[in-house]
Structure formats: C-alpha cells, structure tokens
Amino acid sequence: MSPLHFLLLGTLLFGIGLVGVIARRNLFVVYMSIELMLSAVNLLLATFSRIRGDEGGAVLSLLLIAVIAAEAAIFLAMIIALFRAKRSIDAHDFTQLSQEHNA
Amino acid sequence: MSESIIFYVLALFLIGGASGMITARRTIFSAASFMLAMIALAGMFALLNQSFLFLAQLLVAVGAIITLSMLVIVSVNISERYIPKEPHLGRDLLLGVVIAAPIVALIITALRTHFAASFAPIPDTFGTLASIGATLFASWVLPFELISLLLLAALIGAVVISRKGERS
Amino acid sequence: MSLALLILLPFGSSLLLGMLYLFTSLRSERLYALIGVGAPLLISLIALWLGYGQLQGAESLHVSLFTWLSIDALRIEFALSFDHLSAVMMAFVSVIGTLIHLFAVGYMRGDAGFGKFFAYFNFFMGAMALLVLADNPIILFIGWELVGLASYLLIGFYHRESANVTAANKAFIANRVGDFGFIMALVLLFGAVGEGGFSFSAIEAQIYSVDHALLSLIGVLLFVGAMGKSAQIPLYVWLPDAMAGPTPVSALIHAATMVTAGVYMVARFDFLYVLIPAVGLFIAVIGILSALLSALIATMQSDIKKILAYSTMSQLGYMFVAVGLGAYGAGIFHVFTHAFFKALLFMGVGAVIIALHHEQNIFKMGGLRRFMPLVFYPMLIATLALSGVAPFAGFFSKDAILAAAVASEYPLFGVLGLVVAFLTAYYMMRLLLLVFVAPAKHRHTSLHVSPYLSLPLLPLALGSAVAGFWGMGGAYGGGDALTHFLSLSDYAHHLTHKSEYLLALLSNLIAFAGFALAYRRFASGAREPQPTALFERWILERFYVDALYHALLVVPLRRISLWCERIVDDRFVDGTLGLFSGGYRTLATHFSTLQNGNVRHYALYFLSGVSLLSLLLLWRL
Amino acid sequence: MSTAALIVTLGSVVLAALLALMMIPVLVWLERRIAGLIQDRVGPNRTNIMGFRLGGVIQSFADVIKLVFKEEYYPGHIQTGRALYILAPAITFSAALLAFMTIPFADTLHVSGEALRIQALPVDYGILWYLAIGALGIIGVLFGGWLSHNKYALLGTQRAGSMGLSYELPLGLAVVSMLLTYNTIDFNAMVAWQTQTVLGFLPAWGVVVQPLAFILFSVALFAETNRAPFNVVEGESEIVSGHMTEFSAMKFALYFMGEYIAMNSAAAVIITMFFGGYQLPYLSSAELIESFGTFSLALMVITPLIIYAFIRWMRRNNDVRSTLSHDGGRRFEARVLTIVLLIKLVVLELIFAYFAFAQPSALQTQIAVAVVQIAVFIVKLMLFNIFFIVVRWTLPRFRFDQVQRLGWYYLLPLGLLNIFITAIVIVGVGS
C-alpha cells in the first residue's frame, strides 16, 4: 500500500464527484457531489501531508473541512430558498440566468 | 498487511458510497451513501495517521453536514413528488463518465509516471491534536483567522438566504 | 479681489440657494429672500464703489484669476477687467437687478419654487457680471452662454405648461443660431490675432494687421451673435414668446440687461467696427428695420407684456442704429437710460398683472389709476421717458441717437427714427390709457398692491426722470459726460446747436402727436381691434414672419429630415447595419440555445473543454 | 501487543459492553420503579423465575424476550428503502454504544513500563470521540423518521433534527470551557486533574470549578438524549411516538435501547468530566495505592454493616405482609438471597484481609485499586442515572418552541459567556 494508492483513490473520488455534478439534476445530489470533490481534495492533502511528514497539509485539510462546512451552510440555505420559490429541487427549473426565462 | 486489507475495505466503501450517491434515484439513499463514503474517508484519515483529521471528519463532515442535509430534507419536507424524475439518468451518467474519464485519466497518468514517493518517517505525535494545534497556531494563524471570517460570513449568508418573506 | 467677489458672490449665493432648495426641507421665503436679495445688494454696493473710483479717474482694474486654457499658442486667462464701459454696465445692471430682485420677492410670494427662482436669478446676476467684466472674448462668451442658460431656465420656470417649455426652447435655439455666428467670429479672430494674446487690449493692438475682408466677415459674424442675444431681425422671434416667464424675469433679462448684451458686445469691439463702416451700416439698417417692424407690431398687440417686449426690441433697434453708425457712446447711453424705464414699465405691468390675477389682455383692464396710483405715476413717467419727452431720461439718449443719425451720411435713419418715435409714443400711450384711464372692464372693486411690488418703482421712476442728465449733450448745457467717460472710438458728428434744438422740438412734437392719436382712440376705452385693412392684418399677424420662418425653415427641414429618416436612414444606414445585425441575430439565436440558463449545462460545456484538453495532453504525453 | 495489554483491552471492552448493554434492563427497571415510587404506586414486581423477582428486574428481561420474539412487521406503505429503514435504528443504537467506548473506568495501569488504559477504545481524544460519534445517533433518527412516511414520524424527525442541532452548540461550548480548564481532551487526564483540591478542602471536581458549564452540559445532554423534560421528539401526547411510531419489535427495541445507552453514556461523560470520574474524592490513585492497606481495613469494617442493613431491609420488605398474596416464593427468594449475600460478604472480607494484613505485590494493589475505582465509577453512574430518571418523572415536558428558545436564547449565550469568563480566569491565573 503505497502513497500512490491514496492519490489514485482521491482522483477517482474527484472524478465520481464530477460525474455527479454533470449528470444529476437533483440539487441535493449536485451539492453532495461538490462536497465529495472537496473531500477528495482533502484526502489528497492529507496524503501529501503524510508523504512529506509535514503537518501543514493536515492543517490545510482541516481548514478545508471548515470551508466544506461553510459551503454546506450556504448551499442548504439556497436549496431551502429555491425550494420555497418553486417547490422544486430540479436544477432544470432554475434557469433564471437566461434571458428568455426572465420575462 | 492488515493495513492493506483495511485500506482496500475502506476504499471499497468509499468508492461504493460515492457511486451509490450519484446513482441513487432517491435523495435519502444518496445521503445514506454519502454518509458511508464520508465515514470511510474518516477511516482513510485514520489510516494516514491523521488522528485529528479523522475526528474532525467525523465531527464535521458526518456529524454536522449529513445531519444538516437530512434536516433540510426533513424540515422543508421535500417529499417524493418534488424530486426530479430524471428519466435519462443512465444516459446522463454515461455522458458524465465519458467527460470525466479523460480528466481522471490524465491525473492518474501524471501521478503514475511522474510521481514516485513513499511515506516519510514520522514522529508518534504526528497528526494528534496537540501537534496539529501547535502547527496551526505557529504558522497558519492567518488562514485560520480568515477561515473563521469565512464561517461567519457563511453563517450570516445562510440566515439571510433562507429567511422567509420580505424578499419579493 | 473685489472683482472676483462680483462674480463669486452671486454664483455662491445661487449655489447656496440651490443646495438649500434641493437638499433641505427649508421653505422659509424670508430666508431665501434674504440671501437672494442680499447678494445682488452687496454686489451693487461693490460695483458702485468701484464705479465711483473709475469716475474719479482711477486706473482700470485688471485681475487674472488663473490660466484657464494653455494649449500651445492658445492661452486663455480667466481674467476680469473693470474699465469705464464695464463700470457703467455693471453699475446699472447691479442696481436695477437689485431692485428687480426686491420686486420679485413680492411677485413670487407663495410660489412653490420660490427658492429655485432666486437661485436662478442670482445665477443670472453672476453670469451677467461675468459677461460685463470679461477681459477677453472667450470669458465674455462664457458669460454670454450662461446668461442664455439662465434665460432658458427662467422662461421655462413654470415648466408644467408645455407652452412655456416650448418658448424656452425657442429662445434657446434662436440664441444658438446667433452663438454659432459668434463662435465662428471668435475662431476667425483667434486665427488672425490669437498668437499675440487674446485679451481685448491685445486684440486692439493687433487689429490693424488683419485683412479687411476677413475683418468684415468677423464683424458680420459677431453681429449675428448680437442679433440672437438682442433680438434683432431675423432672430427676434424668441423675445415675444419669452414673456412666458415670470414678469420679474422679463423685466430683468428681457428688457434691462441680457438683451443689451449684443449692444454691449458691439461697443466692446468698437475698435474693430470703426475699421469696417460698411458693416456698421449693415448693423444700422438691421437696427432701424427691427425698430420699425417691432414698433408697428406693438401698436396692434393686446397682450400687455408682448407690447413691452416689442417695445424693447424696437429700442434695441435704436441702439444698434447708434452703434452701427459709430455713435457708441450714444448707444450705451440709450442702453443705460432704457434700462431704467423699461425695467420700471415691466415691474409696473407685473404689479398690474398680479393685482388682476394674471390677466394680461389690456382690453380687459381699465380704470386702474384709482386703485394703484403708486404704480400709475411711475409708469407715466416711464412712458414719457420712453417716448422721448423732454426732459425725461429717454429724451436725451434718443436725441443723441437721432442727432448722430441726422448728422451722419445717411439722414434717412433720422427720419425713420422719428417715425419709430411716433409709433412708440402711440402704443405706449395706448397701453397706459387702456390700462389705467379707460373705463374698467373687470369687476374688481378693491385691488391691493404689495409694497414690495410698488416701492421699487419709485427709485426707478426717479432714475427714469433724471438719468438722462448724465449724458446730456452739449446743446442742452451738458457736456456729453457719459460719452466722454466711456471714451469709446466714437465718430465725431457735428450738428449745430440750432439744428439740435429743432430736432428736439420735432421729436417732442411727434411724441405728443402720438399721444394725441392714442388719446383720441383709446381714452374712452375700446374693443379689441378687429383688423379690416390688409396692412392692419399684416401687423396683427406680425408680418407673417413666424409663418414665413415656419414655411421657409421648419417645413423644408422637416421634409428633409423625413426623407433622411425614411430613405437614407432606413434603406442605406439601417440596411447595411441590418445585414450585420441580422447575421448576428441568426448566429445568436443558434448560440442562445446553448445558453439556456441552466448552470449545470454551463459546467458541462466548461468541463467538456477541460476534457478535450485532457485528451489532447494525454495524447501528447 | 503484550499479553497484559491484550487482557486489559479485552477486559475493558467486555466491561464497556456489559456496562452499556446490561445496564439497559436495570435502567428500564429503575425507571419503572422510580416512576411508581413518585406516582405513589409499586411498579412492576410480579414477574419471577421460580419465585426470584429481584425486585422486578426480571420484568425487564421478560420484555426483552417479548421484543425479540415479536413478529417482524413492516407497515404496508413502506415500499422502497426498506433496507435503510431497518438500518436506521441500528445506526442510532451503534452510535450510542460506540460513544460509550472512550469512557475510562479506572486509572491507567502501569505494567512493566507499559501504560494500559482501562478504556474500551484506548485513545487520548475521548471527549472529541464522544461528541463526534454521539452526534451520529441523530442520523439514524432522521433516516428512520423520514422513511416511515408518516406525519407524526416526520414531525418527530423534524424536532429531533432541530433539537440535535440546537443543543449541539451549548454542549460544544460547555465542552470548550472545560477543555480550557483541563487543558486536555483526554478523559484520563481530566479525571487526574480533578483529584486536586480547591480552596483547600473541596475536591476540584468539574462541578465545583465550573458549575455553569455543568448546568449547560447536563441540560444539553438531557436534550440530546431526548430525556424529559426535553423529550419533545417522542412527545407521546402530541405526536404518538415521533420517529418510532412505525417501528415495532426489535427495530423499535434498538431505538429504545439506543436511548437508554445514550442516557447511560451521558451519565458516564458527566461524571467523568464533572464528578471526578472513577476517583474517590480526596483520594488520588497514587494515594490510594500507597494507603490501600488502611483502605481495606476500613472496608472490612464498613462492608458487613452495609450488607447487614441491606439484608434487614430486604427481609422486611420481601415478606408477605398482605393476606391477599399467597406467594410463598417471596420468602424463599429472600432466604436464598440472604445466603448469597453472606457468602459474598465472607469472600469480600477475605480479600480485604489479604490486602490489609498480607503484603500484596504492586501489581496486585494496582489491580485492586482499579477494581475499587470501577466500583466507584459504577456507583456514580447509577446515581447519575437515577438523577436522570428522577428528573424525567418530576418535571413536565416543555413545548417544542420553548425548548428551542431555551437552547438558542439562554444556553447559547450563557455558554459563550462561560467561555469568556473561563478564558479570563485562566489567563489571570496563568500569568
């Protein structure tokens, strides 16, 4: 079990998160996929920290966990707001960025 | 040897949980799978001698975030009929895999061909709360403070965004 | 420093008033009036003090505040000067301005825009001071434009009625035509003499080196500017319409001060005009035509303010005759005296209008002498002065002009001037009789006139009576004091004393003839005229000049514009652009299906790109 | 891993499992009996095995058997997600059980230079583990309640989730102030810190040093464990049984047991952090080892007195006083128990005598001290469990909004205030 295993695992997790963001319409799953990608990065950070024997990476990873928590708070608040607005958590229902739907 | 076995078991849970999360049609199963993955990830941290990260992962990622997500599902009462149907889920997932594969492949190739490292010898205290704390407050004070600011902003933002009424 | 104060005080108080009006809820008329009248009062004190210094033979003042523009050879100082001409102008502008401000306090009482009005009014005072004190044509032009702006703002003061806004626009646009001429003249002048400095004294020093033809062109173009500002043919059409503004505005701007700016400017450029007598003749012709035409129109008008407006234009015609013939002193003299009695007339009319609740038709008035003697008698004095009855102020100035005209190479001007004098006497007496003497047509039994409205008339009445003595000609025992004080490049005319007396007698007789005619026709009241004769209809319709302008300028322009809009714009310009924009639109329609507002899809595009790049890198690796 | 370490670890795990699992029937029994006591009635005391009632504990075992053998029934409307539906109670149960695992039952043994912790999970981040794992219990509640497809369950779940979140904060804040005080996250070190004295005579227990933190911590734990007066999650009179409404048989039992284990864990954490843990007041481990002979002598005197009193009490109360009862088994049970207790007394006296008069080895003394400390721990644990139960049956239930208001408006600011004061005091003392 070499460091490479951890790194490959982290990369794979990141890829899975990517697929989730692209393929899913359920806002909750999209949100969790984003969290998953962040966590994959976290795993990589922890691994690098362990490889170098440097705790800076672990600290960074710790800070990243805090960022994940902040992201969760905002994303969930947004989901609540969006759900209240349209009674839906389908990403396809939220297309306010395009002009024709604004009218 | 035993570590290898633990690694592979955890990796199985991790990949399985992650895949289950993006394939499950019901949000609740996604959340359950995600929880599984997060717990397995905590295990990975433990395996990397990052005992504090292990606890932080359990405490924050599992304890707080999953609970919060579930609470949102429950308290906003996003029941079955509000969940998108996603009739072409299989096709979409395939498309996603096709798009993500080259990216992952590139990183993996890069890692395999240009990265050769082994674990450095580490002291016993590596990754413990005291050690991480010392590092954190010795050379990472500014990021730490900034993160606290970020959390405060997120806190206020979450309150403002999810507040009822007043906004038209 | 005191010169700068003359500029800064009114502008500063205008700014203060504007701020107070815009940003505070303060609506105390007392405060606004205090500031609004205080500033002109201060500057008139300063101006009188400085003018007294000039009268005692002090050096003319020059002050350069800062260099405004410095581009290669173009070097424009923001400089002010205070010489004899400025002193005279400044003195009467500020004094009469102060009185009219005082009058306006009474006139505008209760108006919602009280503070705004005084902000504009003080702004006008500042602009006028800038115009009069300018040391070079550029600064003069700035003042020139600013008084135009103030005039525009004040004509359109009651902007809720579209007619007033139209009138304001008309004034502004007519002035722009004149300003175009002015600016062209300045450009040419600068091209000719600019490198050696551009202050009036510098220009005067170099003027002899300029080609005569060019100089004539400059003179004509400058006069075009004066036409616009001073309402001469053919740019006079705005002045009658400008009566839409509040009456104090008409009194201050459209009678006493701003409209004389053209005369002042020509007098300021006297050194230029003496070199080109042909252009002077042209000016005189325009002036006498304007005087005649407007006097004719005035005889048939029924709107009390319009009569005065046409009268103003007619008197301005006199002034241009004077300056055109080279009698600059006489011209400025008439400007000076005219300011007093015309301001007085307008203020009296304003008092009448206020008393009759904004009734302006003279045929609906009458019998007011009983109610407002404090208005009637000053107005009587002003009428006599305007009609040139000795020994009131107008007599001396008008006589000076007529004498200059008679003594010049073209005595026809004198004859026509006398005709105008007759008409003037006629329409002024008609006005006075119909308003004050003829039987009343209204049902008011008691009319109250505020002291604010009547008291400022008294000093002006005094001025109208005695102001002429300052410039009294030699024939009457005076010594042309004003003319000598101004020391402009007057052409010296020689008329024997006897012929002067004869001329004076003639003009007085003519004036009384006019009075008599008016008395015969209107003393016992009259109905609104129903024109029968062709000539009368012409006059009533103001010689169809407005219609002519409409037919000659507006209609063809509109036709051309329509043609441009339909053919050039639609077919050529839009067609070419449409080709491009249509292409873009087609492309955009196709691309916009990609931009469907779904953020996930945007992420998909982005990731597809990354994916392709990754593939490329993998292949290269 | 040495043999001693293996033995100690295995022993600790067994002990923890026993303390967690075997405590459940006892707690259920205690709950019912104390409820009966408070409501002026007897409580369950009839069930017996050959006349043995053990004061009614047997009733609890009967209940367990009933729950185990009950038919597995699934509500018909739960079509999908049955696996997770079954898993949900297990999550809650195992989270509660795991949270208990870092509680130290006795002081660290030092065997041949090796420090052996008497903890099921011998780690030094005990309190963090408790917070991290304890918070997972709520997830099982959320899953189970959501998958029940039931209005009452949904309401209960909403309440559970928001309660969990609101009271996690005062809990964490109280813990932070204690961490500041103890300067450690290790339970053992915390217990060691509490062997000091303050003001010369008071044991430096957490409750003495930080009374406010104790109040905050225990109130928050009452809420976290859904105990009255904060049991709005179940709120029988309002929402049937909350998230447990659609659960039956063993699935229900897991939730049920999970709650008791959580309560037990809470009691254990409270005594570890605020009541000196396994330590006797005034007697640190080192002092106890040093003077264990004297201590044994004292025990030799006290134990017979206690057992005598207990036997008298038992015989008096276990006798048939009423003519209505024809149950001769009671007298038989009392007689048998008396004999058992007397044998136990003799054995104990012998052991104490050995330690008092013979010369035991250092290891023996250490083990004996550990046993004493375990006993002390259990006694404290029981006392605190009884406290939990008494509170439940004494106070009425809060309304849900009142609970939330209490958490956010009072406990949270108080917790922050407490941290503030603690920090100031520590800086002041430290400098």
Picking from D84, D147, D165, the nearest residue to B71 by CB comes out as: D165
Cβ neighbours of C442 (radius 10 Å): 15
Q: Does C608 touch chain B (CB under 8 A)?
A: yes
Instruction: Report whether C269 contacts C328 (CB < 8 A).
Output: no
Unique residue bearing structure tokens 């070499």: A2
pLDDT at C355 over 80: yes
Report which secondary-structure segment, H or E, holds C11: helix C2-23
SS3 label, residue D227? coil
pLDDT at D412 over 60: yes
Residues constituting chain D? 431
Q: In this predicted structure, what is the pLDDT of residue B165?
A: 63
Say if B59 falls within a structural domain: yes
Least confident of C90-94, C315-319, C484-488, C561-565: C484-488
Among residues A79, A77, A68, D171, the alpha carbon closest in space to that of B151 is found at A68
Share of chain C above pLDDT 70, in %: 96
Instruction: Pull the structure tokens for residue C260.
Output: 């004389």
By the 10 Å C-beta count (0-12 exposed, 13-18 middle, 19+ buried), C68 is classed as middle
Residue C550: alpha-carbon gap to chain centroid: 23
Which ipTM did the prediction report?
0.71
Using alpha carbons, list the distances in angstroms from residue B150 to A73, B137, B144: 11, 18, 10
pLDDT at C123 over 50: yes
Q: In this predicted structure, what is the pLDDT of residue A98?
A: 54
Residue C167 CA to residue C557 CA, distance in Å, equals 20
Residues B64 and B144 grouped into a single domain: no
All structural domains of chain D with their residue ranges: 3-282+361-430
Picking from C592, C598, C603, the nearest residue to A95 by CB comes out as: C598
pLDDT at D54 over 80: no
Residue ranges of domains in chain A, CATH in brackets: 3-87 (1.10.287.3510)
Q: In this predicted structure, what is the pLDDT of residue A41?
A: 92
Residue D255 CA to residue D156 CA, distance in Å, equals 13
Which chain B residues are within 8 Å of C612, Cβ to Cβ? 102
Query: Side-chain half-sphere of C235: how many Cα atoms within 13 Å?
Result: 22
Residue C135 CA to residue C141 CA, distance in Å, equals 11
Interface probe, candidates B53, B70, B126, B152, chain D, greatest D C-beta count within 10 A: B70
Confidence of residue D2 (pLDDT cuts 50, 70, 90): confident
- The answer to whether A89 contacts B120, with C-beta atoms less than 8 Å apart, is no
Judge if the upstream peptide bond of residue D203 is cis by omega within 30 degrees of 0: no
Picking from B61, B86, B136, the nearest residue to A59 by CB comes out as: B136
- The answer to whether C608 contacts B99, with C-beta atoms less than 8 Å apart, is yes
D109 forms bridges with which residues in the sheet?
Answer: D116
- Which amino acid appears at position D219 of this protein? V
Rg from Cα positions in chain A: 17
Q: Does B122 touch chain A (CB under 8 A)?
A: yes
Residue D217 CA to residue D203 CA, distance in Å, equals 20
pLDDT at A100 over 70: no
* pLDDT, tens digit (0-9, with 9 covering 90-100), for D123-165: 888 888 888 888 888 888 888 888 888 888 888 888 888 888 8
Instruction: Pull the structure tokens for residue C197.
Output: 């400095």
Instruction: Pull the structure tokens for residue A41.
Output: 């990065």
Instruction: Pull the structure tokens for residue A80.
Output: 């609540």
* pLDDT, tens digit (0-9, with 9 covering 90-100), for C501-510: 888 888 888 8
Backbone angles phi, psi at C186, to 5 degrees: -65, -40
- The answer to whether A95 contacts C600, with C-beta atoms less than 8 Å apart, is no
Transcribe C356-378 into DSSP letters: TTS--BGGG---GGGT-HHHHHH
pLDDT at C236 over 80: yes
Instruction: Pull the structure tokens for residue D12.
Output: 């600790």
* pLDDT, tens digit (0-9, with 9 covering 90-100), for D330-363: 777 778 888 888 898 889 888 888 887 877 787 8
D53 forms bridges with which residues in the sheet?
Answer: none
Chain B residue with minimal CA distance to A18? B100
* Angle (CA) B101 B104 B109, round 5°: 115
Tell me the CA end-to-end span of chain A in Å, nearest whole number.
58
Tell me the CA end-to-end span of chain C in Å, nearest whole number.
81
Instruction: Report whether C287 contacts C335 (CB < 8 A).
Output: no
Instruction: Pull the structure tokens for residue C301.
Output: 């008008």
pLDDT at C474 over 70: no
pLDDT at D320 over 60: no
Residue D205 CA to residue D209 CA, distance in Å, equals 6
Residue C529 CA to residue C469 CA, distance in Å, equals 39
Confidence of residue C565 (pLDDT cuts 50, 70, 90): confident
What is the average pLDDT score of chain D?
83
pLDDT at C477 over 70: no
Higher pLDDT, D27 or B81: D27
- Which amino acid appears at position C88 of this protein? V
Residue C48 CA to residue C40 CA, distance in Å, equals 12
Q: Mean per-residue pLDDT for C359-388?
A: 85
What is the average pLDDT score of chain C?
84
Highest mean pLDDT among A36-45, B77-86, C540-549: A36-45
Residues in CB range of C72: below 8 A, 6 or more apart: none
Unique residue bearing structure tokens 């898993």: D87
Unique residue bearing structure tokens 């109360």: D317
% helix / strand / coil in chain B, to the nearest 5? 80, 0, 20
Query: Side-chain half-sphere of D57: how many Cα atoms within 13 Å?
Result: 9
**Is D in contact with C (3 or more beta carbon pairs below 8 Å)?**
no
Instruction: Report whether C386 contacts C394 (CB < 8 A).
Output: yes
SS3 label, residue D283? strand
Transcribe C205-273 into DSSP letters: HHGGGS-HHHHHHHHHHHHHHHHHHHT-TTS-THHHHGGGS-HHHHHIIIIISGGGHHHHHHHHTHHHH
List B residues 23-52 in contact with A (Cβ-Cβ < 8 A).
Answer: 24, 27, 30-31, 34, 37-38, 41, 44-45, 48-50, 52
Instruction: Report whether C327 contacts C491 (CB < 8 A).
Output: yes
Using alpha carbons, list the distances in angstroms from residue D141 to B38, D144, D157, D233: 18, 5, 7, 10
- The answer to whether A55 contacts B127, with C-beta atoms less than 8 Å apart, is yes
Instruction: Pull the structure tokens for residue D103.
Output: 């509680």
* pLDDT, tens digit (0-9, with 9 covering 90-100), for A7-17: 888 999 999 99
Looking at the complex, report in whole angstroms how far the Cα of residue C572 sits from the nearest Cα belonging to chain A.
Answer: 31
SS3 label, residue D430? helix
Rg from Cα positions in chain D: 23
Residue D204 CA to residue D182 CA, distance in Å, equals 11
Q: Mean per-residue pLDDT for D76-96?
A: 83
pLDDT at C89 over 60: yes
Instruction: Report whether C130 contacts C146 (CB < 8 A).
Output: yes
Instruction: Pull the structure tokens for residue C584.
Output: 């873009």
- The answer to whether C600 contacts A97, with C-beta atoms less than 8 Å apart, is no
Instruction: Report whether D124 contacts D185 (CB < 8 A).
Output: yes
Q: In this predicted structure, what is the pLDDT of residue B12?
A: 92
Looking at the complex, report in whole angstroms how far the Cα of residue B109 sits from the nearest Cα belonging to chain D.
Answer: 37
Confidence of residue A103 (pLDDT cuts 50, 70, 90): very low
DSSP state of C108: T
Say if B115 falls within a structural domain: no
Report which secondary-structure segment, H or E, holds C557: helix C555-563
List A residues 47-86 in contact with B (Cβ-Cβ < 8 A).
Answer: 47, 49-53, 55-56, 58-63, 65-74, 76-81, 83-84
pLDDT at C126 over 50: yes
Residue C3 CA to residue C132 CA, distance in Å, equals 11
Say if B20 falls within a structural domain: yes
* Angle (CA) D231 D234 D240, round 5°: 145
Instruction: Pull the structure tokens for residue A13.
Output: 């997790």
* pLDDT, tens digit (0-9, with 9 covering 90-100), for C523-539: 776 677 676 677 777 77
Least confident of B24-28, B50-54, C76-80, C591-595: C591-595
- Which amino acid appears at position C109 of this protein? R
Report which secondary-structure segment, H or E, holds C70: strand C61-71
- The answer to whether B162 contacts A77, with C-beta atoms less than 8 Å apart, is yes
| Count of domains forming chain B | 2
D283 forms bridges with which residues in the sheet?
Answer: D280
Listed as own residue / partner, the contacts of A95-102 with beta carbons closer than 8 Å and 24 or more positions apart are A95/C596, A95/C597, A95/C598, A96/C597, A97/C595, A97/C597, A97/C598, A97/C599, A97/C602, A98/C592, A98/C595, A98/C596, A98/C597, A98/C598, A100/C592, A101/C597
Rg from Cα positions in chain B: 20
Q: Mean per-residue pLDDT for D49-60?
A: 77
Q: What is the dihedral of CA D330, D336, D342, D344, to 10 degrees?
A: -110
- The answer to whether D132 contacts B26, with C-beta atoms less than 8 Å apart, is no
Residues B18 and B98 grouped into a single domain: yes
pLDDT at D321 over 60: no
Residue D223 CA to residue D237 CA, distance in Å, equals 18
* pLDDT averages per 10-residue partition of chain B, 168 residues: 86 91 85 89 87 86 83 77 80 86 87 78 80 86 90 89 66
Q: Domain containing B68: what range?
A: 1-104
